[in-house]
Each structure stands twice: as structure tokens, then as C-alpha cells.
């Protein structure tokens, strides 16, 4: 859990959202080209196994919460594949606030 928090310590999600909104507004006003919206950001590494263990969940239950198959979770945990950026973000949020599991 501490490793996850450390990975996201320097990530300012609000600034990224504001930048995107400002770019969208500039595009709407004709002051920016559509290609300015392409942006790559590095996502911190997230351990599905650590988050799942901290929740005391089976792979099946964790997969159900994330909306993926049990095989997908198995592949993440064995290192055969990596989570998508969206899955990484969702796992991070769940790791930060375990009550989200109940909401999902």
C-alpha cells in the first residue's frame, strides 16, 4: 500500500484535468488543432496482487469488482500481461479508498 502511495505522490490529477479542459476550450474556439489533445502520461506501477491482498479478496471477486475476467487478474499477477491505464487508475483509487469496492 505504501508503495502505491509513493508511486502516485507526485501525480497531480487536478492539473492534468485542468490542462485538458483548457485545451478543449481552445479547440472549441478554433485556437488549437485537434492533434494538441494527444498526451502521454506515465502511470505509476500498480500491483494488482498487493491491492487484492489488502482487500482480502479472491481473484474472482477482485475481477468482478474491476469488470474483468479472473484470467485477466491471474495474468496481471503472474506478470504475463499488464493492466490497462484505466484498470491501473481504478485499482489505485480502490487501494486508496477500500469503500469504493462496495460502491462498485
How far is the C-alpha of 28 from the C-alpha of 33, rounded, in Å? 10
Cα separation values, 16 from 12, 48, 87, Å: 7, 24, 18
* Cβ proximity of 37 and 23 under 8 Å: yes
- Of the given ranges (34-38, 75-79, 84-88, 97-101), which has the lowest mean pLDDT? 34-38
Cell numbers representing residue 82 in the block: 499488464
For the stretch 28-62, pLDDT in tens is 888 766 654 555 566 667 899 999 999 999 999 99
Domain boundaries, the chain: 2-103
Higher pLDDT, 81 or 42: 81
Residues 30, 102: Cα–Cα separation, whole Å = 43
Q: How much of the chain, in percent, has pLDDT values that exceed 70?
A: 75
Amino acid at each position: 500500500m505504501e508503495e502505491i502511495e509513493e508511486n502516485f505522490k507526485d501525480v497531480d490529477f487536478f492539473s492534468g484535468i485542468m490542462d485538458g479542459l483548457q485545451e478543449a476550450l481552445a479547440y472549441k474556439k478554433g485556437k488549437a488543432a485537434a492533434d494538441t489533445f494527444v498526451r502521454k502520461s506515465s502511470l505509476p506501477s500498480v500491483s494488482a496482487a498487493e491491492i487484492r491482498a489488502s482487500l482480502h479478496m479472491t481473484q474472482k471477486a477482485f475481477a468482478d469488482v474491476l469488470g474483468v475476467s479472473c484470467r485477466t487478474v491471474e495474468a496481471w499477477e503472474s506478470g504475463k500481461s499488464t493492466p490497462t491505464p484505466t484498470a491501473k487508475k481504478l485499482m489505485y483509487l480502490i487501494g486508496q479508498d477500500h469503500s469504493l469496492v462496495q460502491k462498485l
